[in-house]
Amino acid sequence: MSKLRILLDGQAPRSRWVYRFEYDEERSESGPIGSLDMLADLLHRWGHHLDGLPWTELPTFGGTAPPITEGIWSWDETRILTGETASTLTLHPRGHSTRKGAF
């Protein structure tokens, strides 16, 4: 069974977000998650296999939290990551809104 794990690796202040995707018992892929683009790509490819971390606990990459975070899974200083499923994740500029109230 395939599993994606996203975790904080190391002790502060040198800790960093990393991922490990296990395809099967013999194959896996792992590495750092250094940007919102990397996280979006990772979740788009394998998010439906995310194990052990709620989407509301995903890493963020700078900037203040948007005033409304419902439906926003991560952000950086200029963009937000939204979507209802892993396959529908989209990066939008901050200020983008699909409902009343700005992100």
Establish if 99 belongs to a structural domain: no
Establish if 18 belongs to a structural domain: yes
Predicted confidence band at 1 (pLDDT cuts at 50, 70, 90)? confident
Establish if 102 belongs to a structural domain: no
- Structural element, H or E, at residue 81: strand 79-82
Establish if 103 belongs to a structural domain: no
Establish if 101 belongs to a structural domain: no
pLDDT for res 34: 94
Say how far apart CA 55 and CA 74 lie, in whole Å. 9
Q: Which burial class, exposed, middle or buried, applies to 12 when counting CB atoms under 10 A from its CB (0-12, 13-18, 19+)?
A: exposed
Q: Which domain holds residue 10?
A: 3-93
pLDDT for res 97: 60
Say how far apart CA 5 and CA 18 lie, in whole Å. 8
For residues 49-75, give the mean pLDDT. Answer: 92
pLDDT for res 24: 77
Q: How many domains in the chain?
A: 1
* Residue range 16-37, pLDDT digits in tens: 999 999 987 778 999 999 999 9
